[in-house]
Copies of this chain bind each other. A is one copy, B any other.
Amino acid sequence: MLNKKRPIGIFDSGLGGLTVFKALRRQLPGEDIIYFGDTARVPYGTKSPEAVIAFSEEIAAFLFKKKIKLLVVACNTASSLALDEVRRISPVPVLGVILPGVEAALKAAPRGGRILVTGTSATVKSRAYSRALAAAGAGVRVTEKACPLFVPLVEEGWCGKPVALTVAREYLSPFRKKNIDALILGCTHYPMLKSVIARVMGPRTCIVDSAHYAALGARAELEGRGLLNPGRRGRSEFIVSDAPERFSALAGRLLGIKTGKVAIKRF
């Protein structure tokens, strides 16, 4: 039996999923949230589907033991490659970040419009966004573009430096004149580069932050099932598979999140 007091579980390949955590915290202030970052094996973006599925199942099983009432797969790569597999072994609802991003993008792009999906190599290669957009039957034209330097750029704390604009231009300026209606930030780190990306793309393009829409989706899911925690101030717990101090420091520096003590669970 699920009950309202149980925590929400969320995992990512590393710390990028903290953008989703932050959005969840904003939408769901009363919930207890357990965040797992697989920092021993980060990044997932260049790994094979088999590896990403195995890692995701392992982490999900670990979180199920913590008696969660909802699992959010914050990692775009894992959402692309492993969502079905995780659902298959899950006793609780499982939400990814792909569908919320897709739905938001479709609100910004008219029928026949153009959507550009940005993400890691693995997310782009999986074509998960293209397939989800096609399945939504909205008749949009979709292009996908991998941007592997964005993650280290964010982790270096360079989002506000000219080099961020140079790198963003290298990836995205060919698309500026292509009448893109919506650009999906298909990686949890990318919201931290939102203003730089918006500058390269120009005012015509709506920049879609999946993290925000994933949090709205989680809220709707809990409401629909009568599982919203009526509490005022939920607790947050952070667990990683390696290097907790680095995680804690970056969480503070990049996102202003005070993690407190970060626990370790090695696989």
Which A residues fall within an 8 A CB radius of B?
Answer: 39-42, 46-48, 50-51, 148-149, 151-153, 155-156, 158, 161-163, 166-167, 170, 242-243, 246, 266
- Show 13 A/B contacts (Cβ-Cβ < 8 Å), sorted by A: A39-B46, A40-B41, A40-B47, A41-B41, A42-B46, A50-B242, A51-B266, A148-B156, A149-B152, A149-B156, A161-B170, A163-B166, A166-B166
A53 to B20, CA, bound (A): 32
A246 to B49, CA, bound (A): 12
For residue A153, which residues in chain B have a CB less than 8 angstroms away from its CB? 149
Q: Verify B48–A243 contact, CB threshold 8 A.
A: yes
Please name 16 further chain A to chain B contacts, defined as beta carbons within 8 Å, in addition to the given A39-B46, A48-B242, A148-B155, sorted by A numbering.
A39-B47, A40-B47, A41-B41, A42-B46, A47-B242, A47-B243, A48-B243, A50-B242, A51-B243, A149-B149, A149-B153, A151-B152, A152-B152, A158-B170, A161-B170, A163-B166
Q: Verify B170–A51 contact, CB threshold 8 A.
A: no
A149 to B47, CA, bound (A): 19
Please give me the residue from chain B that is nearest to A147 by CB atom: B156
A177 to B252, CA, bound (A): 33
Q: Verify A163–B167 contact, CB threshold 8 A.
A: yes
Min CB–CB distance A241 → chain B (angstroms): 8
**Count of this chain's copies in the oligomeric assembly:** 2
Min CB–CB distance A159 → chain B (angstroms): 13
For residue A47, which residues in chain B have a CB less than 8 angstroms away from its CB? 39-40, 242-243
A91 to B153, CA, bound (A): 42
Main secondary structure of the interface of A (DSSP, over half): loop
A266 to B34, CA, bound (A): 29
For residue A162, which residues in chain B have a CB less than 8 angstroms away from its CB? 166
A247 to B243, CA, bound (A): 26
Please give me the residue from chain B that is nearest to A151 by CB atom: B152
A60 to B243, CA, bound (A): 23
For residue A246, which residues in chain B have a CB less than 8 angstroms away from its CB? 46
Min CB–CB distance A125 → chain B (angstroms): 9
Min CB–CB distance A53 → chain B (angstroms): 12
Min CB–CB distance A62 → chain B (angstroms): 17
A166 to B151, CA, bound (A): 17
Please give me the residue from chain B that is nearest to A245 by CB atom: B48
A152 to B266, CA, bound (A): 26
Known: A152-B149, A163-B167. A51 touches B46 (CB 8 A): no
Min CB–CB distance A164 → chain B (angstroms): 10
